[in-house]
Structure 1
C-alpha cells in the first residue's frame, strides 16, 4: 500500500513539473511586472511545502499535517486576477493513546487534494485566494472510512514577492476543509489551518 501510494504521488508531481517546465521552455521571453516576472503567456508556476494544525472535531484525533503542492496561476485580467490550479499531498498525523488509553492510536490520513480557484491581488504583492475541488483519501480502509473522495474548499490570504527577475516566493495562510469521509461521523471531516511557502518561477 505504501509503495503504491508513493508511486501515485510521485507520478502526479512529475506530471505537473513536466507541464510547468514544458510550458516555460516554449515561452522563453520574459516581461517584468510589478509583482514578479512571468513568461509571455503570463502563467506562473510554484512548488511549495504545506503544513497545518487540525481544528474542529478533527483535532480530537489528529495533531498536525505536512505535505507539498504544485500550483499554476493563469492570468485572467492584467496582473491582478488569476485562475489557479493546485494539486498536492498531505499526511495528517494521528494522535497516540487517544482518550488516555495506551495503544489506542489514530491512523494517519493520506490525502491528495486537487483544487482550482481564483487569486486576486487588491494591492501589489498581497492576494486573496479561494479554491475548491476534490480530496482523494489513499488509505480509506485503514482509517475506517467508507468514502475515498470528498469535496474540499480552501480560502487563503498571502503575499507574493520577487527574489529575482524570473522567480518569486509565495507565502499564504489558509483554512482548508472537506466533507465527511465516513457517513455520519463528524470527526471524518478534515479541517485545518494551513501554511504554504512556495518557490515560484
Structure 2
C-alpha cells in the first residue's frame, strides 16, 4: 500500500509537470519528417522493453522484460520535448547461482517512473535523458531494506512516421538505480535496454 501511494503521488507530480510544460508551449503548425504531429502537439507511445543486466547485478540476474507508456510534450516544435515515462519491469533471476543446486535468485519487480528531455539534433534521430524513482514491489522477497531507489536513463534512438497519425520509436538506453540494500553493490539494478514503441 505504501508503494502504491508513492507511485500515485509521483504520477500526479509528473502529470502536473506535463500540464505545466504544455501550457508554456505552442502547437506546432508545420509537419516534420521527425514524426507525426498531433493537434495538441503531445506525442504518446506504448512500448515493449527488454534488457541485459550489467555490472555486479549480472552475477545473479540474466535479463529483463517489461513495458512502458510515454508522453513527449513539445518545448521547441519538433526538436525538443519534455518526456514523462512510467512502466513495469520484471528482472529474471538466475538459477543454481555459483553452481549451487537450488540456489536461485528471486525476480525483481520494478515500477520505474521518470521524466526528462528528448532532443532531435537531426531529423528522426534523438538523444534522451531521464531520471526519477524506481519502486521495488517485492522488497522482502529479495532481501532489500529499501523499496525506492533513484533511477536514471540516458538513451539514443530513432523515431519515424508510419502514417499520418502514428510512428515507431526505437531506442537503446543504459538504465541504473541506486542500491536497494544498504552496502550491497549487487542490489543496484543496472542494464542495457531496448524499447520499441508504437506512437500516436
CA deviation after TM superposition for structure 1 residue 36, in Å: 1.9
Native 8 Å contact 2:133 2:148 kept in 1: yes
Structure 1 counterpart SS, 2:56: helix
CA deviation after TM superposition for structure 1 residue 78, in Å: 1.6
Q: What residue is the counterpart of 1:187 in the other structure?
A: 186
CA deviation after TM superposition for structure 1 residue 31, in Å: 6.2
Q: What residue is the counterpart of 1:119 in the other structure?
A: 118
CA deviation after TM superposition for structure 1 residue 103, in Å: 0.3
Structure 2 counterpart SS, 1:37: coil
Q: What residue is the counterpart of 1:48 in the other structure?
A: 47
- In the superposition, the TM-score normalised over structure 1's length comes to 0.85
Unaligned runs of 5+ in 1: 17-29
CA deviation after TM superposition for structure 1 residue 40, in Å: 2.2
Distance in 1 of aligned mates of 2:175 and 2:35: 27
CA deviation after TM superposition for structure 1 residue 33, in Å: 2.2
Q: What residue is the counterpart of 2:160 in the other structure?
A: 161
Matched, 1:60 2:59: yes
Native 8 Å contact 1:31 1:39 kept in 2: no
CA deviation after TM superposition for structure 1 residue 38, in Å: 1.8
Q: CA RMSD in A?
A: 2.4
Structure 1 counterpart SS, 2:144: coil
Structure 1 counterpart SS, 2:95: coil
Unaligned runs of 5+ in 2: 16-28
Native 8 Å contact 1:31 1:40 kept in 2: no
Native 8 Å contact 2:62 2:94 kept in 1: yes
CA deviation after TM superposition for structure 1 residue 37, in Å: 1.9
Q: Deviations over 1:8-64 (max 9, x none)?
A: 9xxx9xxx9xxxxxxxxxxxxx96322222222210000000000000000000000
Q: How many residues align?
A: 182
Distance in 2 of aligned mates of 1:161 and 1:78: 16
Q: Whose strand fraction is larger, Structure 1's or Structure 2's?
A: 1
